[in-house]
Amino acid sequence: MSITEIDANGRIRLPMRIRDKLDLNDGDKLAIDQLGDGTIILKKLAKRMGLTIAE
């Protein structure tokens, strides 16, 4: 388990080993949820490829 802090802007720095393991990069989107016991869950959202419709 790692310990981190929330900065004055509400940002949380994730430890490098977690970012590397989950391949988290600048601009990636995360979903966040809270369980009834106070547990916070972060989940990396899959990148969607842009689709174009041929006319």
For 1-55, the pLDDT digits (tens) are 889 999 999 999 999 999 999 999 999 999 999 999 999 999 999 876 555 566 5
Predicted model pTM? 0.65
Per-domain residue ranges of the chain:
1-47
In this predicted structure, what is the pLDDT of residue 7?
96
Tokens 């989940």, located at residue: 43
In this predicted structure, what is the pLDDT of residue 23?
92
Q: What distance in Å separates the CA atoms of residue 51 and residue 43, rounded to the nearest whole number? A: 24
Q: What is the fold, at CATH topology level, of the domain defined by 1-47? A: Pemi-like Protein 1; Chain: D (2.10.260)
In this predicted structure, what is the pLDDT of residue 35?
96
